[in-house]
């Protein structure tokens, strides 16, 4: 193999794929990156057998071929080079790299030992093209409520599914739940995508990205952003029927400015660190206010208050971090906060009529 490529293109491709190359593996080849010519392009790829990332970059191909190279060393070395042309040449399973006055030889491994990259049959798959901004927002709004508990794998991903003519994303860790309506669909979809995969996709979105193409088959999902492809296994299992957990109505509804809600929650959280983040919210209809009280036994206590439209008096105790995270992903000037007593789940959403997202938090025992 022999070729010439620009340092900028190669650095970007190596950075995109190298994160999934695993150093903690019994298969040393998985800590490598695959370099392989494809026509007048260079394929750069890595996999950990759960996720595979490939990126094609334009190159001047002098001699076709392939090799695998240690991911971390290759990525850090190329990114340290000046922004000039980089010459890559394989001699006896070693990669010779030359750029200006810089020369290096990296010991490689034959490409035949590298795992076969997964593929998806486009003709038999369900496909969506989604605007980048919509995708970024929907994923950001739902990954935060996914579980980290590996003993319940189905909760460690985001559930993409069709329901009543729309594609929805949902996730829960048992303490909170979020759902986002994304696009209309005529297809039947039911797939749990690992949060790690979705976070990797977010990292690979560039400023020039406008749309993301998503393909589902029975066991895999593929994301394509410009020249980058990410293929991941889906999580096997059935996601819980979460809609039965959504309260049909609430005794108390509070509407207030998001900025005020964020501020009083943040301040209350400062005093709640010792008590596991426990904060008590009180809605007062006569005072038209929502107050948050928190206690730090060593340092003192705090009560913060904000003006609000309140339908009925009520009180509930929540985890301050959960509440802060829910508010951070809702794109709205005003927030609708609803709950029923101290033990029923509360709902947080935008006041917009076409609100396509809601967030549910289970209360703490006060």
Q: What are the boundaries of each domain within the chain?
A: 2-113, 122-244, 246-361
Phi and psi at 320, nearest 5°, equal -65, -35
Q: Say how far apart CA 76 and CA 79 lie, in whole Å.
A: 5
pLDDT of res. 366: 61
Phi and psi at 351, nearest 5°, equal -85, -5
How many Cβ atoms are within 10 Å of 302's Cβ, its own excluded?
18
122-244 and 246-361, same CATH topology: yes
pLDDT tier at 88, thresholds 50, 70, 90? very high
Taking Cα atoms as reference points, which of 28, 145, 35, 155 lies closest to residue 86? 35
Q: Is the pLDDT of residue 50 over 70?
A: yes
Q: Is the pLDDT of residue 347 over 70?
A: yes
pLDDT of res. 276: 82
What are the DSSP calls for 126-144, one per residue? EEEEEEHHHHHHHHHHHHT
Q: Is the pLDDT of residue 51 over 80?
A: yes
Question: pLDDT tens for residues 279-330?
Answer: 999 999 999 999 999 988 778 889 999 999 999 999 999 999 999 999 999 9
- Integer CA distances (angstroms), 85 to 40, 59, 152, 197, 248, in order: 16, 10, 48, 32, 62
Return the CATH class of domain 2-113: alpha beta
pLDDT tier at 209, thresholds 50, 70, 90? confident
Q: What is the mean pLDDT of residues 89-101?
A: 94
Q: What is the mean pLDDT of residues 83-101?
A: 95
pLDDT of res. 123: 87
3-state secondary structure of 49: coil
- For residue 204 the two structure tokens come to 């690979």
What DSSP element (H or E) covers 231?
strand 228-233
Taking Cα atoms as reference points, which of 58, 66, 69 lies closest to residue 106? 69
- The set of residues, in sequence order, having a beta carbon less than 8 Å from that of 47 and lying 6+ positions away, is 20, 21, 30, 53, 115, 117, 118
**Is 112 buried (19+), middle (13-18) or exposed (0-12) by CB count in 10 A?**
exposed
Q: What is the mean pLDDT of residues 68-74?
A: 95
Q: Say how far apart CA 30 and CA 112 lie, in whole Å.
A: 13
Mean pLDDT of the chain: 94
3-state secondary structure of 68: strand
**How many Cα atoms sit within 13 Å of 157 on the Cβ side?**
22
Return the CATH class of domain 122-244: alpha beta
What DSSP element (H or E) covers 28?
none
- pTM across the whole model: 0.93
pLDDT tier at 245, thresholds 50, 70, 90? confident
pLDDT of res. 27: 84
Q: Say how far apart CA 54 and CA 38 lie, in whole Å.
A: 12
- For residue 87 the two structure tokens come to 């010459």
pLDDT of res. 212: 96
Q: Is the pLDDT of residue 24 over 80?
A: no
Q: What is the mean pLDDT of residues 243-272?
A: 94
3-state secondary structure of 320: helix
- Please answer whether residues 87 and 99 qualify as being in contact, where contact means their C-beta atoms are separated by less than 8 angstroms: yes
Q: Is the pLDDT of residue 137 over 70?
A: yes
Candidate CATH numbers 3.40.50.11810, 3.90.930.12, 3.30.1300.10, 3.10.150.10; the one for domain 246-361? 3.10.150.10
What are the DSSP calls for 206-228, one per residue? -TT--EEEEEE-SSEEEEEETTE
Q: Say how far apart CA 118 and CA 27 lie, in whole Å.
A: 17
Dihedral angle computed from the Cα positions of residues 235, 127, 53 and 158, in that order, rounded to the nearest 10 degrees: -30
- Please answer whether residues 338 and 310 qualify as being in contact, where contact means their C-beta atoms are separated by less than 8 angstroms: no
Q: Say how far apart CA 148 and CA 150 lie, in whole Å.
A: 6
């Amino acid at each position: 193999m022999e070729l010439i490529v620009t340092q900028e293109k190669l650095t970007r491709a190596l950075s995109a794929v190298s994160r999934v190359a695993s150093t903690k593996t019994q298969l040393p080849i998985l800590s490598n990156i695959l370099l392989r010519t494809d026509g007048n392009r260079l394929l750069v790829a890595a996999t950990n057998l759960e996720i595979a990332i490939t990126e094609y970059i334009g190159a001047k191909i002098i001699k076709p071929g392939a090799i695998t190279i240690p991911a971390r060393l290759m990525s850090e070395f190329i990114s340290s080079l000046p922004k000039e042309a980089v010459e890559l040449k394989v001699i006896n399973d070693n990669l010779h790299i030359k750029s200006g006055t810089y020369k290096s030889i990296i010991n490689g491994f034959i490409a035949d030992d590298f795992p076969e990259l997964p593929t998806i049959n486009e003709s038999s798959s369900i496909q969506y093209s989604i605007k980048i901004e919509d995708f970024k927002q929907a994923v950001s709004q739902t990954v935060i409520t996914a579980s980290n508990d590996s003993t319940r794998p189905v909760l460690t991903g985001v559930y993409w599914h069709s329901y009543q003519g729309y594609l929805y994303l949902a996730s829960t860790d048992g303490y909170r739940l979020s759902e986002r309506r994304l696009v209309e669909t005529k297809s039947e979809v039911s797939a749990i995508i690992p949060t790690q995969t979705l976070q990797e996709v977010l990292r690979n979105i560039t400023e020039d990205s406008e749309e993301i193409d998503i393909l589902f088959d029975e066991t895999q999902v593929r994301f394509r952003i410009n020249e980058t492809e990410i293929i991941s296994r889906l999580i096997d299992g059935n996601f819980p029927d979460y809609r039965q957990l959504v309260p049909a109505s609430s005794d108390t509804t509070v509407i207030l400015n998001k900025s005020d809600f964020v501020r009083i929650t943040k301040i209350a959280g400062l005093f709640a660190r010792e008590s596991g983040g426990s904060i008590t919210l009180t809605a007062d209809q006569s005072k038209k206010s929502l107050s948050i009280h928190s206690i730090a036994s060593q340092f003192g206590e705090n009560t913060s208050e904000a003006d609000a439209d309140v339908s009925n008096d009520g009180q509930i105790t929540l985890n301050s971090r959960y509440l802060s995270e829910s508010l951070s992903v809702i794109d709205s000037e005003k927030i609708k906060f609803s709950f029923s007593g101290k033990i029923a789940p509360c709902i947080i959403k935008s006041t917009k009529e076409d609100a396509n997202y809601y967030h549910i938090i289970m209360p703490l025992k006060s």
